[in-house]
Structure 1
Amino acid sequence: MEPFRLTATEALAKIKDGSLSVEAYARSLLSRIEQRDDAVKAWAHLDPEYVIQQAKQLDLVPPEKRGPLHGVAIAVKDIMYTKDMPTQHNSPIYEGHDPTLDAAAIATLRHAGALLIGKATTTEFASTATGPKTLNPHDPTRTPGGSSSGSAAAVADFQVPLGLGTQTGGSTIRPGSFNGIFAFKPTWGAISREGLKFYSLNLDTIGFFARSVADLELLSDMFNLEDDDARPDFAIRGAKFAVLKTSVWPQAGPGTVAALEAGARLLRDGGADVEEIELPPEFDRVVEWHRTVLHSDGRPTFLPEYRVAKEKLDPFIADHVENGQKISRAAQLEAFDGLAALRPRIDEIAKKYAAILTPSVVDEAPKGTQSTGSPAFNCMWTALHTPVVNVPGFQGGNGMPIGLSLVAPRYHDRHLLIVSKAVGDIFAAEGGWKSKV
């Protein structure tokens, strides 16, 4: 197997046992990127010489001083400060901008020995629905999703094993589904957001992309994601799952309808107790409240850019500052307080199950790159601050990947990853989706 096809966990094992140098690994990844960059366009900034320089320095580190991620390659969403690479937010306002410090997440990964490959593309300030230049590696006529477009596409295309994204609406889970890979949005606030460009203080969450749950667990270790009680001996047989369509179910396309039915059936066939549930009527306002919080938080977030260079801002972002939605302060408070009251309630509901199985996307990745697709099925979980994993395994009518989401109570992140590993094995074996890239 070519080194670029290794998962992060596999590459780490080979680097540890001396059968693969970091430089050889880096050169394999760069060769893959060179071969595929015209077709995928996942990178906002990539300097091969800098990558090799990092790799050579990592190879010189004595084994006893190497970090737990020594040599593992990672793509970084281009809204996170990196002291040795530009951070441009896909905005003409920040073109060529070179910060002099690392975001907290980047400092953590660099200290662990990670190999930072480059800055991955994003929509403007990770906020607009208009796609960047990036294309879906499984079909270049379709979007990879957004706003974490490049990170997801690069992982799916075997250009890197790991990618960092963020989620304010559906920016991690949706591209995970569209690209046929695992995506993890941890509990809100579990990972420091210092040093990244905020969109919504109340919603933004750093997330991960990988081709295996073991790799998601590897990154979770780096950020000290811990539950009060995570049981590693989970088995599908005898476990209890909820199937939840949510209030936006009428938007589901045929691919998602079929995937949710198949996912529930596969869990039942595996010996699980699967129960379809509905949330109390109060939850019907979550999507509306999410939108209110999003637009309200965007007002102060983008005020500096608006004042300095309004003409260079996407109209969607300028509209936040101008309060084009005419959101009153009373409506803001109702949304803030309404969501805060519902979060412990969803925790109590979710605690009754190993996980809640629910859609990740409306359907397959849509054609074109003008839109990154609808986050309709993601906004609820972002607003409620719960951890979510996109589990790949299904496909739509055009042969494109469709994943399903697993949801757990807040701060049950490690439990959710354990469950996702078992569910992912079943979906991969019998769901029907196989990557051809």
Structure 2
Amino acid sequence: MSTDPADLSATEAARRIDAGSLHPRDLLEACLDRIAAREDTVRAFAHLDPALARAALARPRDGLLAGLPVGVKDVLDTADQPSEYGSPIWRGHQPRADSFAVAATRGAGGIILGKTVTTEFATRHPGPTTNPHNPAHTPGGSSSGSAAGVAAGFFPLAFGTQTGGSVLRPAAFCGIAGFKPSFGLIHRAGLKVMSESLDTIGVFGRGVADCALLAQAVTGLDLGDPQRATGAAPRLAVCIGPGGDKLAPETLALLEDVATACARAGARIERITLPSAVVAAQEAHPAVMNGEILQALAWERMTHPADISAELTENMNWAAALPAPALAEGRAAFAAGRAAMRELMARYDAILTPSAPGEAPQGLGWTGDSICNALWTAMHGPCISIPAGHGPAGLPMGVQLVGLPGQDRALLGWAGWLEGTLGR
């Protein structure tokens, strides 16, 4: 087992710092050494200034995150580092203020280590980041640098955002935990918002407890300790989800293996299909997402059209051609789907479903399909991806737990239970 502090989970590093057996300076320098060794290949950072991190560490540190380095996706504003949103249109942009997530992290004693690579405006056009497990493969997106950085040991915690599958999918591809809280749990002030109905700030860590630690630190909510999960076993609805024939055989096999392990550990397992209203919400996702992106990027589209990627331009043109009521109708479909989800989930503690269609695709030109995640983002409830195995190419794979809005603490607890079950 590695003794390098850069390989510690956030919760273990925090425990050692609190006990006096690890100095925050040694943790930071270990992370910087790892970055020096691997960043040329992983390319996780949009901006990195070690002097800023060292200066922050020189000030008194207290709070839940005291001395822990944190990566910040470059769609979240930072007052001391550029925020370029993955677009040449915003190159060199320096915000005056921190986003809420960043300010709250500093307030809890965290060290903002750097800005991590995002796809263009957190949409589809990829940045240069590679998968730490195999640089010939994508790390996923849009939170590419944050997921890859945690997996590579650059920082134990990081922020991402999710509109379709931008936290859950890269977490699965990189073999770490990724948590998308309930919609709005982490305030979006200072986020370059693309979709008012969907954009959710999420977190990455090496395990479930790490994700709970960062989310709790910035919200002030008691999200429990997933490492001390209840001894009871959950009622799980096992669902292939809307992925259907896009799921690789190894993904279907992994889901069945995990369901079997859960049943052996005492979970009540029931296989379900989704109600028609929930399926309709999935079908409405592209109209809502792209319709709201069209509005969010009105200035960029008007003044810098040549600096917007062909993929994003195509999606916005598609949205512009929709009938005027399409956006409102899509939002109404979301609301109906959420109502159907509440009725469905009355019988279950969580839904168990794939995190991604398969392993990380080869190449860096595509960050993967969000078909396993977009629906759950629209449902506004908490979701978490947990490492669960490896595929035929030896790359990580994950499974996802989904809960109802407001049930973040409960879902993290069940995720801790599942993590413990899979680790036995």
TM-score, with structure 1 as normaliser: 0.92
Give SS of 2:325's match: helix
SS at match of 2:112: strand
Change in CA separation of 1:140 and 1:44 when aligned onto 2, cut-off 3 Å: same
Q: Given the superposition, is the C-alpha separation of residues 340 and 232 from structure 1 closer, same or farther in structure 2, using an over 3 Å criterion?
A: farther
Match for residue 274 of structure 1 among 269, 288, 301: 269
Give 1:125-274 correspondences, 5 Å limit: 125-128=121-124, 130-224=125-219, 226=221, 235=230, 238-274=233-269
Match in the other structure for 1:9: 11
- Secondary structure of the residue that 2:161 maps to in structure 1? strand
The separation in 1 between residues aligned to 2:189 and 2:308, in whole angstroms, is 23
Output the amino acid matched with 2:266. Answer: G
CA distance in 2, matches of 1:427, 1:323: 43
Three-state SS of the structure 2 residue aligned to 1:90 is coil
Which residue of structure 2 aligns with residue 123 of structure 1?
119
CA contact (8 A) 1:298 1:317 kept: no
Alpha-carbon distance change, 112 to 238 in structure 1, aligned in 2, over 3 angstroms: closer
Once the two structures are superposed, residues 224-245 of structure 1 have per-residue CA deviations (whole angstroms, 9 ceiling, x without a partner) of 3758999998546553211011
The alpha-carbon deviation at position 331 of structure 1 amounts to: 2.0
User: CA 1:307/1:282 → structure 2, altered by over 3 Å: closer, same or farther?
Assistant: same
Q: Is 1:28 paired with 2:14? A: no
Alpha carbons of structure 1 residues 270 and 236: separation in structure 2 relative to 1, 3 Å: farther
CA contact (8 A) 1:391 1:403 kept: yes
The answer to whether structure 1 residue 344 and structure 2 residue 345 are counterparts is no
Cα distance in 2 for partners of 1:15, 1:50 equals 21
Q: CA RMSD in A?
A: 2.0
Of the structure 1 ranges 142-151 and 287-296, higher mean CA displacement relative to structure 2 is found in 287-296
Q: In the alignment, is residue 418 of structure 1 matched against residue 413 of structure 2? A: yes
Aligned to 2:109: 113
Could you tell me which amino acid in structure 1 is paired with residue 376 of structure 2?
A: W
1:181-237 superposed Cα distances (whole Å, 9 cap, x missing partner): 110000111111110111101100000110121111111212337589999985465
Cα distance in 1 between the residues matched to 2:111 and 2:188: 20
CA distance in structure 1 between the partners assigned to 2:102 and 2:224 by the alignment: 28
Once the two structures are superposed, residues 14-67 of structure 1 have per-residue CA deviations (whole angstroms, 9 ceiling, x without a partner) of 222333222222111100110111221111111112221222224xxxxxx722
Report the counterpart of residue 380 of structure 1 in structure 2: 375
**Cα pair 1:178 1:402 within 8 Å, conserved:** yes
- Structure 2 vs 1, CA of residues 247 and 323 (structure 1 numbering), >3 Å: closer, same or farther? closer
- CA 1:322–1:71 in 2, change beyond 3 Å: closer, same or farther? same
Do 1:79 and 1:197's aligned partners in 2 also have CA atoms closer than 8 Å?
yes
SS where residue 119 of structure 1 aligns?
strand
Match among 61, 65, 71 for residue 67 of structure 2: 71
8 Å contact kept, 1:392–1:428: no
Structure 1 counterpart of 2:192, which letter? K
Q: Is the 2:72–2:146 Cα contact (8 Å) retained in structure 1?
A: yes
Task: For 1:315 and 1:159, locate their aligned partners in 2 and report how far apart those are by CA, in whole Å.
Answer: 32
In structure 2, the residue corresponding to 1:367 is in which secondary structure? coil
Residue 280 of structure 1 deviates from its aligned partner by 1.7
* Compared CA separation, residues 263 and 336, structure 1 to 2 (3 A): same
| Matched residue type, 1:110 | R
Contact 2:46–2:74 (Cα < 8 Å) also in 1: yes
After superposition, the Cα gap between the structure-2 partners of 1:394 and 1:52, relative to the gap in structure 1 and judged at 3 Å, is same
Query: Residue by residue, what CA displacement relative to the aligned partner does 1:370-424 show, whole Å, maximum 9, x if unpaired?
Result: 0000001101101111110001121111111110110111110010000001101
In structure 1, the residue matched to 2:358 is 363
- Does the 8 Å contact 2:162/2:377 carry over to 1? yes
- Equivalent position of 1:61 in the other structure: none
Aligned AA for 1:256?
Answer: T
Q: Which moved more, 1:364-373 or 1:386-395?
A: 386-395
More displaced stretch, 32-41 vs 242-251: 242-251
Q: CA deviation at 1:108?
A: 0.7
Unaligned runs of 5+ in 1: 59-64, 430-437
Partners of 1:8 and 1:411 in 2: CA distance:
24
Whether contact under 8 Å (2:240, 2:354) holds in the other structure is yes
In structure 2, distance between residues paired with 1:392 and 1:148: 17
1:370/1:232 CA distance change after superposition, 3 Å: closer
1:271 positional shift: 1.6
Give the AA of the match of 1:51: A
1:91 to 67, 87, 96: 87
Q: Is the 8 A contact 1:226 1:414 kept in 2?
A: no
TM-score, reference length from structure 2: 0.95
Are the equivalent residues in 1 in contact too, given 2:356–2:373 (CA < 8 A)? yes
* CA shift digits 1:136-190 (9 cap, x unpaired): 0011110000000000001011111101000000000000100011100001111
